[in-house]
């Protein structure tokens, strides 16, 4: 009798266990891709890094400043190297355009890159694209001709956008930067990124971010349990130790929004805060927009909150540690009016404090849509962060982006080459001291003037009507 009861109890327990196991396995529903043979132990860490830039035609920096590989050339060279696969995420697809461009801003580089992407077919190289634009005609064209395109419904996840902008080639080489797949990024806009060659360790990790997007097709929720193949390999706390052009360095990739950070993945915002905290001499930031606000729309009405994570770190660095802070922001059609207020307050912080320095300048392209500085990077005396998002609270909260962090180890480069940190510092200083920057006050005056002009124009327009009404 008793043994029968025992039997039933054991049977029930086994059943429970089986159901539990089944439940756990069915809950894991973001599977990653196959990882072809390369593991954390035997991936390659002996890498080469190259800075790539697009400098719009009309800009001329002083002749002493170093020029870097052009973005167009860099991307084409990556395609030359591709043997197995090219994985691309880009906020927009507009390489081919009815716009013929002009002498200063030619459109043909975009068309050429588009043709090269299609021609991957003849070489048997897979072309995989993740995008949040289901209606893009260019992506339809690519799908028809060869590419595998998967759609990520950002509306369902955060109502944000997929603004990530990177390439992974053969799970070995990567590109990450501000320039996406638009002919303007190869011609009209000022862009900056890096290409890292022969770096399967870093590529493996960036590929996992891509694999996550790839797996999100047709989904409208993020599962609570993730496959190991999309979790982070390296992070803020456990960075990859590697060699970049024979210099020892640490690196990892970070991502946004928080919802897209599986176990161990560092958030962009944590990476940025960490680098500012570690800086000893200077923090230079070059971004299109900087605004410490989060703007949520809830049932039709906008709820706006102050967003402090970056602001507070900068203030602490400047006031308490005397780290020199410089912010280079773009002045363009969409510059938010509150930018002036927040930046004025930031600059005023050092009033009467010896050794404290916070400076803000505006970078101004030739016109409001041309030559805009799209750069999204930070460089400190020890590290660089190259990201995809502008430094606006709402961007980090709702939009998907990725970032690459490179920290120098103590030893200095041996072969007399400038390290990537030094190169990026030089790029920042070139822009900062160029004729295309103006002070905060000058920027404010320009905007006020144009508003006044606009009001005058409006007044002129309404005058005849008012006369009629006499
Ligand atoms: C790395 O290690 C895995 C298993 O340990 C092996 O299958 C693979 O061939 C190795 N890859 C390289 C490039 O050595
Ligand atoms: C260029 O460099 C030289 C020497 O390196 C220096 O004398 C000169 O002032 C520099 N010119 C500009 C425009 O910075
Ligand atoms: C795509 O096009 C369809 C029909 O033209 C439209 O209903 C839908 O809102 C569009 N989606 C996006 C994300 O623009
Ligand atoms: C994206 O998700 C939203 C909200 O869940 C849904 O209304 C919309 O139809 C989805 N769009 C597509 C193209 O599946
Ligand atoms: C917040 O978003 C709403 C709607 O998207 C917009 O009208 C408003 O100007 C935004 N406010 C700020 C401060 O950006
Ligand atoms: C790394 O080496 C390549 C050439 O092999 C060079 O073009 C590039 O500028 C170097 N990068 C850095 C950061 O020194």
Question: Are 246 and 48 a contacting pair, CB within 8 Å?
Answer: no
Ligand 2 pocket at CB < 6 A: 62, 64
Distances in Å between the alpha carbon of 330 and those of 265, 305, 382, 432?
30, 23, 25, 12
* Signed CA dihedral, 203, 209, 215, 217: sign only: negative
Run of H or E residues at 253: strand 247-256
As a 3-state breakdown, the chain gives helix, strand, coil percent values, each rounded to 5, of 35, 25, 35
Question: Are 229 and 32 a contacting pair, CB within 8 Å?
Answer: yes
Cα–Cα–Cα angle for 114, 119, 121, nearest 5°?
125
Check pLDDT > 90 for residue 165. Answer: yes
3-state secondary structure of 160: coil
pLDDT band at 422 (very low <50, low <70, confident <90, very high): very high
pLDDT band at 418 (very low <50, low <70, confident <90, very high): confident
Average the pLDDT over 407-424 and give the result: 77
What residue's CA is closest to ligand 2, atom 5?
64
Question: Are 248 and 259 a contacting pair, CB within 8 Å?
Answer: no
* pLDDT tens per residue, range 250-288: 999 999 999 999 888 999 999 999 999 999 999 999 999
Taking each helix axis from N to C end, the angle separating 309-321 and 268-278, rounded to the nearest 10 degrees, works out to 0
Ligand 1 center to 39 CA (angstroms): 6
* pLDDT tens per residue, range 172-223: 999 999 999 999 999 989 999 999 999 999 999 999 999 999 999 888 888 7
The pLDDT, as a whole number, for residue 89 is 98
Residue in 44, 382, 406 with CA at minimum distance from that of residue 194: 406
Ligand 1 center to 235 CA (angstroms): 23
List all residues 6 or more positions away from 406 whose beta carbon is below 8 Å from its beta carbon: 49, 244, 249, 250, 251, 383, 384, 420, 421
What residue's CA is closest to ligand 5, atom 7?
302
The pLDDT, as a whole number, for residue 229 is 83
Q: What is the DSSP string of 87-124?
A: EEE-S-EESS-S--B-SSSBSHHHHHHHHHHHGGGGGT
pLDDT band at 25 (very low <50, low <70, confident <90, very high): low
Most informative mutation of 298, 302, 390 for ligand 5 (most atoms within 8 A of CB)? 302
Share above pLDDT 90 across residues of the chain, in percent, rounded to a whole number: 67
* pLDDT tens per residue, range 221-260: 887 777 888 889 999 999 999 999 989 999 999 999 999 9
The pLDDT, as a whole number, for residue 373 is 94
Question: Are 46 and 247 a contacting pair, CB within 8 Å?
Answer: no
Ligand 4 pocket at CB < 6 A: 134, 153, 155-156, 220
3-state secondary structure of 129: strand
**Spatial distance between the Cα atoms of 102 and 47, rounded to a whole number of angstroms:** 38
* pLDDT tens per residue, range 110-164: 999 999 999 999 999 999 999 999 999 999 999 999 899 999 999 999 999 999 9
Average the pLDDT over 51-79 and give the result: 85
CB of 159 closer than 6 A to ligand 3? no
Q: Domains (ranges, CATH) in the chain?
A: 44-453 (3.30.870.10)
The pLDDT, as a whole number, for residue 465 is 43
* pLDDT tens per residue, range 86-116: 999 999 999 997 776 677 788 899 999 999 9
Check pLDDT > 60 for residue 11. Answer: yes
3-state secondary structure of 73: helix
What residue's CA is closest to ligand 3, atom 8?
135
pLDDT band at 458 (very low <50, low <70, confident <90, very high): low
3-state secondary structure of 354: coil
What residue's CA is closest to ligand 3, atom 3?
135
Most informative mutation of 295, 301, 340, 397 for ligand 5 (most atoms within 8 A of CB)? 295
* pLDDT tens per residue, range 357-386: 999 999 987 666 678 999 999 999 999 999
Which has the higher per-residue pLDDT, 160 or 470? 160
Residue in 237, 408, 407, 378 with CA at minimum distance from that of residue 310: 378
Residue in 111, 114, 106 with CA at minimum distance from that of residue 188: 106
Average the pLDDT over 55-63 and give the result: 72
């Amino acid at each position: 009798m008793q043994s029968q009861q025992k039997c039933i109890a054991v049977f029930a327990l086994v059943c429970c266990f089986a159901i539990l196991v089944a439940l756990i396995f069915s809950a894991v529903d973001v599977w990653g891709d196959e990882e072809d043979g390369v593991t954390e132990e035997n991936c390659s860490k002996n890498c080469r890094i190259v800075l790539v830039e697009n400098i719009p035609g009309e800009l001329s920096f002083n002749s002493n400043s170093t020029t870097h590989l052009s973005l167009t050339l860099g991307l084409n060279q990556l395609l030359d190297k591709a043997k197995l696969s090219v994985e691309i995420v880009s906020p927009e697809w507009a390489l081919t355009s009815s716009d013929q461009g002009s002498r200063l801003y030619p459109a043909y580089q975009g068309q050429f890159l588009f043709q090269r992407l299609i021609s991957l077919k003849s070489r048997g190289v897979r072309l995989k694209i993740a995008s949040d634009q289901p209606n893009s005609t260019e992506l339809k064209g690519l799908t028809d001709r060869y590419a595998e395109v998967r759609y990520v419904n950002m509306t369902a996840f955060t109502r944000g956008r997929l603004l990530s902008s990177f390439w992974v080639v053969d799970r070995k080489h990567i590109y990450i930067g501000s320039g996406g797949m638009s002919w303007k990024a190869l011609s009209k806009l000022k862009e900056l990124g890096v290409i890292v060659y022969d770096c399967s360790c870093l590529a493996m990790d960036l590929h996992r971010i891509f694999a996550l997007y790839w797996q999100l097709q047709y989904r409208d929720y993020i599962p609570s349990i993730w496959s190991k193949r999309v979790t982070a390999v390296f992070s803020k706390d456990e960075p990859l130790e590697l060699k970049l052009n024979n210099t020892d360095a640490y690196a990892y990739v970070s991502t946004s929004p928080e919802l897209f950070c599986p176990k161990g993945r560092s958030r962009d915002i944590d990476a940025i805060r960490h680098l500012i905290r570690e800086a000893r001499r200077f923090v230079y930031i070059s971004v299109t927009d900087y605004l410490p606000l989060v703007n949520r729309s809830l049932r039709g009405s906008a709820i706006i909150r102050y967003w402090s994570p970056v602001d507070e770190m900068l203030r602490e660095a400047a006031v308490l540690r005397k780290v020199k802070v410089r912010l280079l922001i773009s002045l363009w059609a969409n510059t938010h009016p509150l930018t002036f207020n927040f930046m004025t307050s930031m600059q005023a912080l050092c009033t009467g404090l010896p050794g404290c320095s916070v400076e803000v300048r505006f970078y101004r392209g030739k016109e409001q849509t041309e030559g805009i500085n799209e750069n999204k990077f930070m460089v400190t005396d020890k590290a660089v962060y190259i990201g995809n998002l502008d430094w606006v609270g709402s961007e980090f909260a709702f939009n998907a982006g990725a970032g690459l962090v490179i920290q120098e180890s103590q030893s200095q480069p041996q072969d007399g080459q400038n390290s990537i940190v030094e190169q990026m510092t030089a790029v920042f200083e070139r822009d900062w001291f160029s004729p295309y920057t103006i002070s905060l006050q000058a920027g404010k005056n320009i905007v006020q003037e144009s508003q006044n002009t606009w009001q005058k124009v409006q007044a002129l327009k309404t005058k005849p009507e008012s006369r009629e009404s006499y």
